[in-house]
Amino acid sequence: MHDIHPLLGCQDAVDFRQTWRTGGVWRRTITLYVEGGALLTLHHAGRGISPGGWVLRHHDFTQLSREIIAGAMPVVTDSGIQMGRSLLLPPVRQCSLRLAAGEKISLLPGSCIDRADETGLFGPLSKATRLPVLPELRQMLHCFSASLAGEDIDWTLWLGRGPGLTPSQDDMLIGMMLAAWEAGWLNVHNSNAFFRASGSLHTATTQVSANYLQYAARGCFASPLLHFVFALRSGRRMTAATASLLAMGHTSGADTLLGFWLAQHFIRG
């Protein structure tokens, strides 16, 4: 048996002692999930970390990718998760992916959105962010501002639209929540009510996306999103941080950036 010691884990990851099933095995990630519930994402080192994620060394990730089969049910013990000939141990070193509000609102520079990168539903970023705001985006922004004001919004009516493992409008909503947490409009006092009227998100979108949305409502975001906000606050390394964000998924980064831009329209008043 080969023991795998993760390099890093997210503090908000769920307890690994659950009945897991292997989801997807991709070039950068491996997902384990509990039917209708928790998600554990294993990341290739150097590719960042998501909420509920563990980071594996290159050789461990490669070996695990070759051994496991999608849909299989790993053996879970008190020591770790056994997959094939490998025993995946819980990480010793952990990090926080929670975002605290900044001292002032960090406005998005035009250079971040005046780009040809394609969004999932609304064409290039440069076109999707033209004023006046597109009608569908304006309606989504209205729902978002109402939600922040304490109104009950059923977000399942918006989720699951667009291509990808995390559909486009789900990524947009995560970008909007990122902007709201950054500005302090979402916080520990009101965030629990954000999806209060939405029932189970798992009925409206993919399991991966439902988990990321729930984490975002609690102020937990993938490391490229946090790096982007930190660069925006400091005014340094914006080019690298924007490129890292836009490299997420096929259109996930662009959709997230579109949502961030859209929410700042409301936050700026």
Which residue is it, tokens 């925006």?
A: 232
The DSSP letter of residue 134 is: P
- Residue 121 has a CB neighbour count (10 Å cut-off) of 19
Amino acid at 163: P
**What predicted TM-score, i.e. pTM, was given to this entire model?**
0.94
Q: List average pLDDT for each run of 10 residues in the chain, which is 269 residues long.
A: 95 94 91 89 95 96 89 92 94 96 83 94 96 93 94 96 93 97 92 94 93 96 97 93 94 97 81
pLDDT value, residue 219: 97
CB within 8 A of 88, min separation 6: which ones? 4, 6, 42, 54, 64, 80, 81, 82
| Burial per residue of 197-233, b for 16 or more beta-carbon CB atoms within 10 angstroms, e otherwise | ebeebbebbbbbbbbbbbbbbbbbbbbbbbbbbbbbe
How much is the pLDDT for 103?
73
pLDDT in tens, 168-184: 999 999 999 999 999 99
Q: What per-residue confidence (pLDDT) applies to 68?
A: 86
Separation of CA 38 from chain center:
14
Q: What pLDDT, on a 0 to 100 scale, did the predictor assign at position 269? A: 60
Q: How many CB atoms lie within 10 A of CB 253?
A: 24
Give the 3-state secondary structure of residue 162: coil
pLDDT at 164: 85
* CA dist., res. 204 & res. 115, Å (int): 30
